[in-house]
């Protein structure tokens, strides 16, 4: 049973109404409880077994107060990555991501602390990211959490040397990478850098297969964050043409040939863009400008690849040129967001945030 005193404050503005709901003293959640936000419109969930001293639901944030007398933990799940700010000391927050769902668990050991959770507008990284932030003067949790990607989110590579791209995150001062989570003890952290070249196996020649890279990030305040990503090293494949067919090709065979031709076309597009050659209209792989969903950080699919190819061909600036180096991977991450924001600013789409939402989709359909 949840014991709560509820006060609702209505503040009237010229263009609308802001609603704040406050649940107070003390709160115990025996079942999963839905919290509804209006900006953005979305639901967060308080997990069964959670406790808190005070809970306030604003239009775009959830504020939780915990103290040493609370007597338990508070767990919140969100379909978007959560930004966190704190006021107070004595507590910690553990964050994890699974299948695009962000989970935040507060544990309060001493004193009291106020935690403000803000959805970030994109899903959390596909890999698990664990972060622990302590109160008492330690640096607050950055949003989004430190993470990295391999070759702009590609799933496969034919080169054993890959590029790690590490987005800037608040308070991150050093980082370390290893081929195994057990190897961190023997790895010395290096200063933060936005990119890093990495040999998948650490020797002159790597065997084909899957390779996992483990990253750890450190703040000046003593917090650490871990993330891991996997990429598959494949051999260089060739396409052999034949003029005779002994039997009607199967659907699987035709699909394989089509995929191979599309891959070759994408390679040609990439090379043309790098040399400043405009690809003839109408023959780009996936040249349609019709999109049926919003795209943001973490999105995957053919529509993402189409957007990336469009941005490469538009060549709006340095991020589009960097995107041309990696090609259309079908994975929406930092480089794609920056190239999209670059294009939005160029054509006057506001806000130029790198979010492919209704405003940008309407622009694409009308141009």
Q: For residue range 187-213, what is the model confidence (pLDDT) as tens digits?
A: 888 888 888 999 998 888 899 999 999
* Per-residue model confidence (pLDDT) at position 239: 38
Q: What is the CA radius of gyration of the chain?
A: 24
* Per-residue model confidence (pLDDT) at position 359: 92
Contact (Cβ atoms closer than 8 angstroms) between residue 134 and residue 101: no
Residue 309 and residue 311: Cα distance in Å, rounded? 5
* Per-residue model confidence (pLDDT) at position 221: 65
Residue 211 and residue 149: Cα distance in Å, rounded? 13
Query: Roughly how many angstroms between the first and final C-alpha of the chain, as a whole number?
Result: 55
Residue 165 and residue 302: Cα distance in Å, rounded? 22
* Per-residue model confidence (pLDDT) at position 345: 93
Residue 163 and residue 196: Cα distance in Å, rounded? 6
Residue 47 and residue 309: Cα distance in Å, rounded? 41
* Per-residue model confidence (pLDDT) at position 99: 76
Residue 197 and residue 179: Cα distance in Å, rounded? 14
Residue 187 and residue 287: Cα distance in Å, rounded? 45
Residue 47 and residue 44: Cα distance in Å, rounded? 10
Q: Which of 321, 367, 323, 314 is nearest to 343 (CA)?
A: 314
* Per-residue model confidence (pLDDT) at position 33: 93
* Per-residue model confidence (pLDDT) at position 344: 94
* Per-residue model confidence (pLDDT) at position 286: 47
Beta-bridged to residue 172, according to DSSP, are 219
pTM: 0.39
Domains and CATH numbers, the chain: 5-134 (2.60.220), 149-233 (2.60.40.10), 267-366 (1.10.101)
Q: What is the DSSP string of 286-319?
A: T------S-B-TT-BSHHHHHHHHHHHHHT-SHH
Residue 138 and residue 171: Cα distance in Å, rounded? 10
| Both tokens assigned to 160 | 């054993």
Q: How far is CA 248 from the centre of its chain?
A: 44
Residue 263 and residue 60: Cα distance in Å, rounded? 42
H-assigned helices in the chain: 251-274, 302-314, 318-326, 334-347, 358-366
Contact (Cβ atoms closer than 8 angstroms) between residue 110 and residue 127: no
* Per-residue model confidence (pLDDT) at position 262: 67
Q: What is the DSSP string of 41-85?
A: EEEEEEPTT-EEEEEEE-SS-EEEEEETTS-SEEEEEESS-EEEE
Question: Residue 290 to residues 78, 306, 308: CA-CA distances in angstroms?
Answer: 29, 9, 13
**Dihedral sign computed on CA atoms, order 359, 360, 362, 367:** positive
Question: Residue 354 to residues 121, 294, 337: CA-CA distances in angstroms?
Answer: 11, 11, 4
Token look-up 């649940």 returns 23
Could you say which residues of the chain have pLDDT below 50? 1-19, 126-143, 236-246, 281-282, 286-287
Q: How far is CA 114 from the centre of its chain?
A: 26
* Per-residue model confidence (pLDDT) at position 236: 47
Residue 66 and residue 91: Cα distance in Å, rounded? 8
Residue 198 is classified by DSSP as E
Q: For residue range 41-63, what is the model confidence (pLDDT) as tens digits?
A: 899 999 999 999 889 999 889 99
Q: What is the number of residues in the chain? A: 367
Residue 237 and residue 260: Cα distance in Å, rounded? 9
């Amino acid at each position: 049973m949840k014991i709560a005193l509820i006060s609702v404050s209505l503040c009237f503005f010229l263009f609308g109404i802001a609603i704040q709901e406050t649940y107070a003293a003390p709160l115990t959640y025996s079942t999963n409880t839905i919290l509804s936000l209006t900006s953005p419109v979305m639901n967060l969930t308080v997990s069964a077994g959670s406790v808190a001293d005070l809970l306030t639901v604003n239009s775009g944030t959830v504020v939780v107060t915990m103290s040493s007398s609370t007597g338990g933990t508070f767990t919140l799940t969100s379909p978007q990555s959560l930004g966190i700010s704190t006021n107070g000391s004595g507590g910690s927050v553990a964050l994890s991501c699974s299948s695009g769902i962000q989970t935040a668990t507060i544990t309060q050991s001493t004193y009291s602390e106020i935690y403000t959770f803000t959805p970030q507008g994109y899903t959390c990284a596909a890999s698990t990211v664990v972060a622990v932030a302590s109160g008492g003067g330690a640096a607050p949790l950055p949003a989004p959490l430190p993470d990295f990607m391999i070759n702009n989110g590609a799933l496969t590579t034919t080169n054993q040397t890959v590029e790690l791209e590490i987005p800037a995150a608040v308070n991150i001062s050093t980082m370390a990478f290893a081929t195994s989570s057990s190897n961190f003890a023997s790895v010395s952290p290096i200063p933060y850098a936005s990119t890093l070249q990495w040999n998948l196996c650490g020797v002159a020649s790597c065997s084909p297969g899957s390779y996992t890279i483990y990253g750890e990030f450190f703040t000046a305040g003593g917090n650490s964050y871990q993330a891991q990503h996997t990429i598959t090293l494949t051999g260089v494949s060739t396409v052999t043409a034949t003029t005779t067919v002994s039997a009607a090709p199967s659907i699987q065979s035709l699909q394989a040939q089509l995929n191979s031709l599309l891959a070759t076309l994408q390679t040609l597009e990439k090379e043309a863009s790098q040399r400043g050659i405009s690809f003839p209209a109408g023959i780009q792989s996936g040249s349609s400008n019709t999109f049926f969903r919003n795209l943001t950080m973490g999105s995957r699919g053919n529509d993402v690849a189409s957007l990336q190819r469009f941005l490469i061909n538009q060549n709006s600036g340095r991020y589009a040129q960097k995107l041309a180096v990696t090609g259309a991977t079908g994975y929406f991450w930092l480089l794609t967001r920056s190239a999209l924001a670059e294009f939005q600013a160029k054509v006057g789409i506001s806000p130029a945030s790198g979010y492919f939402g209704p405003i940008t989709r309407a622009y694409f359909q009308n141009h």
